[in-house]
Amino acid sequence: MTLATDILRYINANLDSMTSFLKTLVLHESPSKDPASQTTILGVISEELNSLGYFTNYIPGKKTGGYLFARPQKREKNTPLQLLVGHCDTVWDIDTLKKMPITIKEGTMTGPGVYDMKAGLTQIIFAIRTIKALSLPLPVTPLILINSDEEIGSRESTRMIKRLAKVSDRAFVLEPPLGLDGKLKTARKGLGRFTITAIGKAAHAGLDPGKGVSAIVELSHQIQQLYAMNDFEKGITVNVGMIEGGISANVVAPESKAIVDVRVLNKIDGETITEKIYALKPSLPDIQLQIEGGIGRPPMERTPRNQKLWQFAKNKASLMGLQLDEATAGGGSDGNTTSEFTATLDGLGTTGDGAHASHEFIFLEQLPERAALLTQLMISDTVENELRIT
């Protein structure tokens, strides 16, 4: 019997308790834009961490529900640090449970936020429980950051995430894995948001059309230039997702606006696309263009240190018969931020499907597996030291 199988066996024996805790988190509905709901669920998590011997500090947000920071109350001085990152906010409004109730059947569990990412939060709690129950060594001190604004860009929590990532040897992000086969996310696209406003000149569309300059027509020209920036082979996508403009059907539109989503696989492409967007020029005379925005979340690139951590996790998983694959995600997460400063592995949550969709679910039997993997990673020495030992 190996340590890996001991860990998995212990967590499997506590599946009912895990399921009950996860159900509690899902029942505490926590939409990103409802700060009051965030304080409640973060309070539940804080109480659980306190019972496990962790110091917790809740930092309220100015416009969001804030975030929770936790660390062990007792630890040896000068030990290396590891960062665990998760979020408690969801895209679902209060009372979504009425139309998306929690169900447990045929090996799955459904409910708003169960997959993205309250299962991952449950794994953090039960990995710590396992370490305590089995008296496992903890050579790398865990720092835990659970925010409430990830689904809306982590604007208030990013500063703290950066601060913690800079002092940590590695970061584990408990976002859900990719696909029904549960691939870990070893790369993520960077995400940018731009707003392009065309300002023209209003005129009566019937009496004096020649005296007007249509901002809508101008914007249509700009949209064509934006779409020409797409390069799917390089993973560059430029999507005009929203447009608005004009004041009436019988008025030449004086203003029109487009909101643009940009995704890139590496920092250089992000800089290049940003330069191209800001270099856009009006196509019509007497038009002004106003351009705002930029790359908000940098790409999580498949760097050597990230790949080393991925291989490390893959080896740990194999000790308990779990075969893992890696993948690139088109969306961003707080892993994009941590990856700038430390080795990062994302997608360590529980396999399922339906993030932001009405069929959201997880495979319950994989909840213990992924919690056991996280436990193994948490109790491992730094990657360099472990490789040296083996």
For 179: left if phi > 0, alpha if psi spans -120 to 50, otherwise beta; the answer is left
The CATH code of the domain at 3-188+299-389 is 3.40.630.10
Burial of 259 (0-12, 13-18, 19+ CB in 10 A): middle
Q: 132-141: per-residue pLDDT in tens?
A: 999 999 999 9
By C-alpha distance, which of 123, 161, 117 is closest to 143?
161
Q: What is the pLDDT of residues 276-333, one digit of tens each?
A: 999 999 999 999 999 999 999 999 999 999 999 999 999 999 999 999 999 999 999 9
Query: For residue 257, what are its two tokens?
Result: 């606006």
Q: How many Cα atoms occupy the beta-carbon half-sphere of 227 within 13 Å?
A: 9
Q: What does the alpha-carbon distance between residue 10 and residue 18 come to, in Å, rounded to a whole number?
A: 12
Task: Identify whether the C-beta of residue 89 lies closer than 8 Å to the C-beta of residue 42.
Answer: no
> What angle do helix axes 15-27 and 119-133 make, rounded to 10 degrees?
140
Q: How far is CA 223 from CA 82, 228, 240, 273, in A?
A: 44, 9, 7, 14
Q: Can you tell me the distance from the alpha carbon of 192 to that of 244, in angstroms, rounded to the nearest whole number? A: 19
CATH fold group of domain 190-297: Alpha-Beta Plaits (3.30.70)
Q: CB count, 10 Å around CB of 67?
A: 25
Hey, CA dihedral for 160, 163, 167, 168, is it positive or negative?
Answer: positive
Per-residue pLDDT 10s for the chain (390 aa) are 689 999 999 999 999 999 999 999 999 999 999 999 999 999 999 999 999 999 999 999 999 999 999 999 988 888 999 999 999 999 999 999 999 999 999 999 999 999 999 999 999 999 999 999 999 999 999 999 999 999 999 999 999 999 999 999 999 999 999 999 999 999 999 999 999 999 999 999 999 999 999 999 999 999 999 999 999 999 999 999 999 999 999 999 999 999 999 999 999 999 999 999 999 999 999 999 999 999 999 999 999 999 999 999 999 999 999 999 999 999 999 999 999 999 999 999 999 999 999 999 999 999 999 999 999 999 999 765 654 433
Q: Where are the domains of the chain?
A: 3-188+299-389, 190-297
CA-only gyration radius of the chain, Å: 24
d(CA 389, CA 386) in angstroms, rounded, equals: 5
- What is the DSSP secondary-structure string of 189-214? -EEEEEEEEEE-B--BTTT-GGG-B-
Helix (H, G, I), strand (E, B) or coil at 314: helix
